[in-house]
Amino acid sequence: MLMSQVFAPTLRETPKEAEIPSHQLMLRAGFIRKNAGGIYTYLPLAVRVLQKIERIIREELEARGCQELLLPIIQPAELWQQTGRWDVYGEEMFRLTDRHGRQFCLGPTHEEIITALVAAEVNSYRQLPLRLYQIQNKYRDEIRPRFGLMRGREFIMKDCYSFDRDQAGLDESYRLMYEAYTAIFNRCGLTTRPVEADPGAIGGNATHEFMVIADTGEAAIVYCTECDYAANVEKAELLPPAGAGESSSVDLPVVEEVYTPDCKTIKEVADYLQLPESETIKTLLYEVEGEFVMVLVRGDHTLNEYKLAAHLGTSTFRLAEDDSLVGTGFVTGFLGPINPPAKIRVIADYALQAGGPYVVGANKADYHLRNVVVGRDFTADAFADLRQAEPGDSCPRCRGRLAGARGIEVGQVFKLGTKYSKALNATYLDENGVAREIVMGCYGIGVGRTMAAAIEQNHDEDGIIWPLPIAPFHVIIVPVAYTDPAQKELADKLYAELTELGYEVLLDDRDERPGVKFKDADLIGIPYRITIGPKGIQNGFVELVTRRTRSKIEIPLEEATSKIRSIIGSV
């Protein structure tokens, strides 16, 4: 294609609203334009990349027995009401009402609609397993759409659903999809790391997220430096500390009250008493289904509400607000587990089974207690894994050291089980004519997010460096002056020959200075550039520049095409 005809309006300046490289570069290089918060137009270069990612996805999924279909974006409320998610989804769901007053949503995901389809059409074990997928726009009214295509409100997703006879079938579908994801991201030139994750609202019991490790990632992960354990910090398990419950309290001083005026936060208390935060206990008061529950974590640790939800068996809870504490005797800022004003259930993080003595709130304004020994001075109703994992913690598998990293979640695989088949009555008759619930899995890939993540991992100060398999074009031919007949002739010849070989080639036919053309080629990120100049023509060579390494080689004209082919390889 001729560069003069490519609709890729580039920008000289980096737009202010763009904070991360992929967003900045996609705007600057003319890949996307914003229409509203989290809603974008994909320009032709972006569409070329998206189509390549989609082709790779299709090939890997079809190779594993998945079939493509296309479900509607507009979905009736009734189905969502049947699974209970019409309410659960909350404000993230775009809702609309038709002229008859019927309610619909713009699909944020498609478990309901596809399960209803399968419930209606699949009756026999002979029709299973079934793996269906689609590539389509999804709609989520994210609280904070940002980072361009990373977190949009309208975005392209590949979503796949597996339907199996039993758990063993699901395990096999899950294994295949996990394998497909690994292959897909590899082929897209991305280094990903599968991590264990929390199933959250979608339900189910096992899930992995595929993370692209990048400093700009929104997710925090930990991974073991000694074994292959890796998890989202929301999920990362922690074991009770070594030596839990062994501390001998015989010789320790008794509890005493200390005056801590206005010290309401852990930091204020620790600073005032000149102690590390790790020698204090953070006491949090939660309202859980109408009852107060006291939750304790070490002062320097962070409570993980996902873990709290798992422990409590419900996610309907919230931190007690000052208003609801009026008249209860609980004093915000000075809460503690010793002599609370009312009988209360106390749950404590595992870490408190070791260490200490600790400082805790005295349940009295402006006072704390010190020399508090867990087990001697109070005990919790339960100890549990409640806190967020941090770099330096022990691996739950091998007790090796965990390290931290940031990641971009490009895909996720879930074992759903029967949550949706139960709600929507998706059953089949087994070999004995007995009705059974279909066992489901679901598997998503953010296609636009994958494109953005590829840029996060592959760029430099001059622009994008597309991995070859997803590059919008493989090669760009830049004649220094296309108006020069000798250069034009050679450029046209190379263009025709490389195109004939199956490469996607751009030819910069513009009447611009060479510097401008080189800059644009770098910005757009075409993996290989062939430069044709008067000197080269005179001496009989062209120059091949590799975008990633900037290495330049001179290739004799007569063997140009074959040499270039051997360097670029197959695409």
Q: Give the interface with ligand ATP as residue ranges (CB under 6 A).
A: 109, 140, 142, 151-152, 155, 157, 409-412, 444, 446, 448-449
Contact 77, 102 (CB under 8 A): yes
Distance CA 3, CA 476 (A): 9
Nearer to ligand ATP, 194 or 340 (CB): 194
Sort residue 266 into left (φ over 0), alpha (ψ -120 to 50) or beta: alpha
Q: Which residue is nearest to ligand ATP (CB)?
A: 446
Q: To the nearest whole angstrom, how small is the minimum distance from the Cβ of residue 180 to ligand ATP? A: 14
Q: To the nearest whole angstrom, how small is the minimum distance from the Cβ of residue 37 to ligand ATP? A: 11
Q: Closest Cα to residue 468, out of 499, 501, 520, 503?
A: 503
Nearer to ligand ATP, 143 or 326 (CB): 143
User: Which residue's structure tokens are 């007949």?
Assistant: 485
Contact 520, 466 (CB under 8 A): no
Q: To the nearest whole angstrom, how small is the minimum distance from the Cβ of residue 560 to ligand ATP? A: 41
Nearer to ligand ATP, 214 or 490 (CB): 214
Q: To the nearest whole angstrom, how small is the minimum distance from the Cβ of residue 410 to ligand ATP? A: 5
Distance CA 315, CA 200 (A): 10
Nearer to ligand ATP, 190 or 532 (CB): 190
Nearer to ligand ATP, 141 or 509 (CB): 141
Q: To the nearest whole angstrom, how small is the minimum distance from the Cβ of residue 160 to ligand ATP? A: 10
Distance CA 152, CA 92 (A): 12
Q: To the nearest whole angstrom, how small is the minimum distance from the Cβ of residue 444 to ligand ATP? A: 3
Q: To the nearest whole angstrom, how small is the minimum distance from the Cβ of residue 321 to ligand ATP? A: 27
The one-letter code for the residue type at 151 is R
Q: To the nearest whole angstrom, how small is the minimum distance from the Cβ of residue 446 to ligand ATP? A: 2
Nearer to ligand ATP, 201 or 254 (CB): 201
Residue-wise DSSP of 392-427 = TSBPTTT--BEEEEEEEEEEEEEEEETHHHHHTT-E
Q: To the nearest whole angstrom, how small is the minimum distance from the Cβ of residue 196 to ligand ATP? A: 14
Nearer to ligand ATP, 151 or 165 (CB): 151
Nearer to ligand ATP, 337 or 448 (CB): 448
Enter the tokens of residue 495. 């263009």
Q: Closest Cα to residue 524, out of 155, 34, 46, 47?
A: 46
Enter the tokens of residue 66. 């998945």
Nearer to ligand ATP, 89 or 155 (CB): 155
Contact 427, 125 (CB under 8 A): no
Nearer to ligand ATP, 125 or 185 (CB): 185
CA angle 135, 140, 141 (to 5 degrees): 155
Q: Closest Cα to residue 533, out of 503, 554, 550, 516?
A: 554
Distances (CA, A) of 13 to 16, 17, 149, 378, 458: 9, 12, 19, 62, 20
Residue 12: partners with Cβ closer than 8 Å, 6 or more residues away:
none
Q: To the nearest whole angstrom, how small is the minimum distance from the Cβ of residue 230 to ligand ATP? A: 16
Residue 292: partners with Cβ closer than 8 Å, 6 or more residues away:
285, 286, 320, 328, 330, 342, 344, 345
